[in-house]
A and B are shown apart, each in its own frame.
Chain A
Amino acid sequence: LYREAILKKFRPSLDNILYILHDLQDNNPQQYLAKDDIRVCADYLNVPYSYVHSVASFYTMFSLEPRGSTIIRLCDSPPCHLMGSKSLLAYLKDALKVDVGGTTKDGKFTLELTSCLGACGVAPAMMINDEMVGNLTPERVDAILERRRKES
């Protein structure tokens, strides 16, 4: 039912598809586009299911798999790479015991890589849901994970 309310916010015009998908994903408790999300979007815009799926799968901000409540997006573009994101990735994988794209067993964290976030002045940087954090070290990562574990 909440999906109806989201759709109503936008004109049923194809150029609104990214806005609709953003909104549906943000409101899905598992932070992804479920089949139902794609279906209601397709029906609303009067396009085939496959069309919406093809658009959703093209953009990296959309996920077609369920994700944890906290999504960690570590930047691995050259500037962050130079400043040590490679070793941070190894550290994060080890701390969360997941691979890139994976979600922890308790459903709390999903680890992803992202292209440049434009936070290169404080590289290495990552996004935690909508929040940017920079100047990362293993100690800072630990503190952030700890805080998130408590919050959720």
Chain B
Amino acid sequence: MNLVRNHVLISIDAGTVMAGARAVEKALVEEIAKQGLSDEIAVLKTGSVGTIGQGVVIVVYPEGIYYANVTPQDVPQLVEEHLLKGRPLKRLILAETPKQTVFKKEKAGLLKEQPRIVLRNCGVIDPEKIDEYIAEGGYMAIGNALTSMQPGDVIEEIKKAGLVGRGGASFSTGMKWDFARRAPGDIKYIICNADEGEPGTFKDRLILEGDPHKLIEAMLLAGYAVGASKGFVYIRGEYALSIERLEKAIAQARDYGLLGINILDSTFSFDIFVMKGAGAYVCGEETALIESLEGKRGHPRNKPPYPVTEGLWGKPTVVNNVETLANVTEIIKNGAEWFKGYGTEKCPGTKVYTIIGNVATPGLIETEMGTTLRDIIYEYAGGIKGGKKFKGALVGGAAGAFLGPDMLDVQMDFVNLKEYAAVLGSGAILVMDESADMVDMLQSVLHFFKHESCGHCVPCRLGTAQLVKLIDRIALLKGSQEDINKLLKISDVMRDTSFCPLGQSLYLPISSSLKYFRDEIDSRIR
């Protein structure tokens, strides 16, 4: 057997494919063969390694050196210098700052001290190979559960861990499962909500692309705990690579007998099906998603009854977000006490953020609950791009809140942020530097909501249209103080009377932008 002396990991995700990763991969394999190194050097595909906007990224182990913006033309030199002669190719090395030329994984700002629970395998294993997932301890949690845990034990463990939903609503996952378990009926369903559409969010896409088996295992656990035998993953239609990877993973799991009848020789049977969406933000709301799965327009339903008692085709249904489920597998594998070692007392665990906008290194990070906005921006994202000043951040997506500089040092978790009239939401952090125009940003947010309002209820349908009219007028310097008051009043009424969270959450960006940037918005008034 040959001894592989170097592993070259190439990140194949939607972002790097865009930058030409497949061509670089082909060139790498060919060049390594040409140099006669095929026996000593293995080229492995993996998901996102945590860098965004750095072109094609490859990592060479055991050195742990990251190369960014690699093109097929660079490959011959890279292979010759680093892999043949052992001299890292400095000009392509990914640097946190121009001053630092060589750094290893532990020192990389992007991956600095990140406690990785959800993203543990992302950028480490080949997501298209079930064996690599199994080698990392995959499918052990479901094995343990089926052999040594009762369904009720699984639910107790999740409850004890204090896991709450990561999709935005932060409801207790264990309680949700318990309700569904206790609901009468033989047929129950598990739905994974992968209809990620909150502007600025792409964490679920990278989990799906980087570690699809973890999701399958979590759905098995949920199915076992609740007593369901069928699961659906509702993925937005635009996520072509996610759909491809997940379908491949499901087929492999079926081959291995990890999906299907009598899994691991137990009496438990479960299978998973992928459903492709067709472009509707409101389908991220769980009851709208269920309507869409049933083949209807994606209008939200009346609650109650909640999906845990009457969901898909009227049967008890659990709807969980991708990131929530990714936590489930690790909790069952490592135990609730281990999980509670991360995060804050009220909010255990980690949160995956997508940090974007005017920062030096935009990307995907996972940090403990309770990490401050300042740490996320300055420690993990390299600070503000071009050394400019921080002005504000839109946290939690379009249905989130604008935060000003005095919020930089507040501990961020689902519970604590509520006290500041803010939300963690989907974990999107859009950072704005001093040159950002807050009226323009608010205008963009309101236009988004007008477009995505499904038209089902009057307050949201008419309210979003009126809000857009008002903000457009203010942006054209034709607004009055009365218009600003109306923005607040209308969004307040929408909060109280809209049918679903889409209309209910619009007051957040409006009231928060006025709270922190009132002077700037006032200056646009005649």
Task: List residues of chain A with CB under 8 Å of any chain B CB.
Answer: 13-19, 21-22, 45, 54-55, 58-62, 76-79, 81-83, 114-123, 127, 130-135
Contact = CB atoms under 8 A, between A and B. Distances in A.
B281 to A, nearest CB: 6
B278 A61 contact: yes
A142 B424 CA distance: 39
Interface string B224-262: 000000000000011110000000000000000000000
B298 A77 contact: no
Given A61-B279, A132-B18, A55 B297 contact: yes
B354 A17 contact: no
B444 A81 contact: yes
The 9 closest A-B pairs by CB, nearest first: A121-B52, A59-B278, A118-B202, A14-B295, A77-B199, A60-B279, A61-B279, A81-B444, A116-B199
B357 A79 contact: yes
Nearest to A52: B295
5 contacts: A82-B441, A116-B200, A118-B239, A119-B14, A122-B52
A76 B237 CA distance: 18
B430 A79 contact: yes
Chain B interface size, as a band, is 35 or more
Interface stretch (B148-156, B415-423, B445-453, B496-504): B445-453
A78 B280 contact: no
A78 B200 contact: yes
A17 to B, nearest CB: 4
B310 interface: no
A16 B200 contact: no
Nearest to B313: A15
Given A61-B279, A122-B52, A82 B436 contact: yes
A134 B18 contact: yes
Given A61-B237, A118-B205, A79 B280 contact: no
B367 interface: no
B441 to A, nearest CB: 6
A83 B357 CA distance: 7
Nearest to B444: A81
Contact of A135 (B53, B201, B432, B445): B53
B200 A22 contact: no
Given A83-B357, A133-B18, A134-B15, A15 B293 contact: yes
B441 A78 contact: yes
B363 interface: yes
Looking at A16, A19, A59, A120, which has the most chain B CB atoms within 10 Å of its CB? A120
Contacts of A19: 276
B231 to A, nearest CB: 14
Looking at A14, A18, A79, A133, which has the most chain B CB atoms within 10 Å of its CB? A79
Contacts of A121: 15, 52-53, 202, 354, 356, 362-364
Given A55-B296, A77-B448, A115-B281, A82 B430 contact: yes
Nearest to A15: B295
Interface string B140-172: 000000000000000000000000000000000
A22 B238 CA distance: 12
Contact of A77 (B200, B205, B293): B200
B440 A79 contact: no
A120 to B, nearest CB: 4
Contacts of A61: 237-238, 278-279
Contacts of B197: 115-116
B452 A115 contact: yes
Looking at B292, B436, B441, B444, which has the most chain A CB atoms within 10 Å of its CB? B444
Looking at A14, A77, A83, A123, which has the most chain B CB atoms within 10 Å of its CB? A77
Contact of A79 (B200, B296, B364): B200
B240 A123 contact: no
Nearest to A85: B444
Given A81-B441, A135-B53, A120 B295 contact: no
B31 interface: no
Nearest to A45: B295
B294 A14 contact: yes
Contacts of B43: none
Interface string B22-50: 00000000000000000000000000000
A83 to B, nearest CB: 7
B329 interface: no
A63 B476 CA distance: 32
Interface string B489-513: 0000000000000000000000000
Nearest to B354: A120
B394 interface: yes
B95 interface: no
A119 B15 contact: yes
Given A59-B278, A120-B362, A123-B356, 15 more contacts: A55-B297, A58-B280, A59-B279, A61-B238, A76-B448, A77-B398, A78-B199, A78-B398, A78-B444, A79-B428, A82-B430, A82-B436, A114-B279, A118-B238, A121-B354
Contacts of A117: 238
B200 A18 contact: no
B444 A18 contact: no
B280 A60 contact: yes
Contacts of B394: 78
B279 A119 contact: no
Interface string B289-317: 00011111110000000000000000000
B198 interface: yes
Looking at A18, A116, A132, which has the most chain B CB atoms within 10 Å of its CB? A116
A58 B278 CA distance: 9
Nearest to A56: B278
Contacts of A115: 197, 199, 279, 281, 448, 451-452
B64 interface: no
Contacts of B280: 58-60
